[in-house]
Structure 1
Amino acid sequence: MKNFIILTLVLFLSVSCEKELVKQPKGLIEKEKMLDIMYDLSILEAVKYQHPLSLDSIDANQKRFVLQKYKVDSLQFAQSNIYYAADYEGYKDMFDAIAKRLEKNQRAADSLAKIDEKKAIKKKKQEEKLRKLNPELKEAMPAKANIDSIKTAMHARRIRQTR
């Protein structure tokens, strides 16, 4: 009798573990498309975190923009996200793939930034040489504007206008 109860319990547990926790929604987004959407959303979140004023100038909702880009509505995205999140291992693999993609693009961006930095240093040296050769050029060259201060001023003006 004990063996029968244990066998029934084991059989019941094995069958119940195979059952899906969340049913597949009607408009399920394909996994690759879902990865692209989540990648774009993570980039926008990073931009919003690193440079909050850069996205304040855009009055549109960034998440809505990404969903429109992939022709997906927010309910379809939410249902698909819940469906994929129900499988912990699969969801973790999705985030690992996104992290790898972000790291790859980060390395590419870093190398481009180094190239731009070297070009700026080279240009600055050339300008210094020209100024030494001809001191009158110093007055002719315009001063560079600080873009961050311009964005800050525009943001402050927008806040004053809304009050």
Structure 2
Amino acid sequence: MILKRFLTYFSLVLLATACYKYNKPKKPKNLIPKDKMVNIIIDVRLLASANGKNKRTLEENNLQSEAYIYKKYNIDSLQFALSNNYYAYYVDDYIDIYEKVKDSLGSLNDKFSDLAEKEEQEKKYKDSINSIIKKDSIRILKIKNYISALVKKDSLKPLIKKDSIRLIKLKDSLQILVKKDSLEKINLKTPVEEGLITPVSDIDFQ
């Protein structure tokens, strides 16, 4: 909206200049300086180009572009119109103003492009760091689980050793019992079984 109004002012001024090129306008008492005009037009262009999220932000804050410009630079519509009319009469000054506007907008565009590229690079770097941290976390977890398994295994070793001692003792006890049974069997054998001389009463003399 504000851009359309400024363009309307410019068009009217150019038309007036063409029709009354010999009528030099009086210099306004509150003429806006050229450098300030440059800044005003830059802001007008930036506000006019706002779209998407930026435009919604302006609307949500009930920010009127035209009122914002006038308040920021402490000017009014009449002052701007008279100043613009005065500069438009001097074509070289008018061209100089717009060349500076063009250069400034170009510099801003380059700056924002560099910032966007830098932010993209920082995002990629951050994503890479997060990926490395995630991989390292997985590795650390695996190592932790492995160490826990080793600790658990080592804690079982005394029990295994203790059970082995019990088995050895049990085996020794069984061997003693087996040996004892064998001795008892030997003691219960008859004299014949032990290879002694047969008694005379048992000899058959037939």
Q: Same fold (TM over 0.5)?
A: yes
The one of 57, 60, 67 equivalent to 1:64 is: 67
Structure 1 residues 117 and 42: alpha-carbon distance in aligned structure 2, compared to 1, 3 A threshold: same
Structure 1 residues 61 and 76: alpha-carbon distance in aligned structure 2, compared to 1, 3 A threshold: same
The one of 123, 127, 130 equivalent to 2:133 is: 130
Q: Distance in 1 between matches of 2:134 and 2:128?
A: 10
Partner residue in 2 for 1:156: none
Return structure 1 stretches of 4+ with deviation > 6 angstroms. none
What do residues 89-129 of structure 1 show as CA deviations (whole Å, max 9, x unaligned)? 32122111100111112212221221111110000111122
Q: Distance in 1 between matches of 2:23 and 2:52?
A: 39
Deviates more, 1:25-34 or 1:118-127: 25-34
Partner residue in 1 for 2:16: none
Displacement after TM superposition at 1:72 (Å): 1.2
Residue segments in structure 1 that go unaligned for 5+ positions in a row: 1-15, 136-163
Whether 1:108 and 2:111 are equivalent positions in the alignment is yes
Structure 1 residues 80 and 107: alpha-carbon distance in aligned structure 2, compared to 1, 3 A threshold: same
Whether 1:24 and 2:27 are equivalent positions in the alignment is yes
| Matched position secondary structure for 1:128 | helix
Instruction: With the length of structure 1 as denominator, give the TM-score of the two structures.
Output: 0.62
Q: Distance in 1 between matches of 2:116 and 2:31?
A: 39
Structure 1 residues 49 and 78: alpha-carbon distance in aligned structure 2, compared to 1, 3 A threshold: farther
Q: Give the residue type in structure 2 aligned to 1:33.
A: K
Q: Distance in 2 between matches of 1:44 and 1:88?
A: 26
Q: Give the residue type in structure 2 aligned to 1:92.
A: I
How many residues align? The count is 119
The CA RMSD measured in Å over matched residues stands at 2.4
Displacement after TM superposition at 1:17 (Å): 6.1
Q: Give the residue type in structure 2 aligned to 1:106.
A: N
In 2, are the aligned partners of 1:35 and 1:94 still within 8 Å (CA)? yes
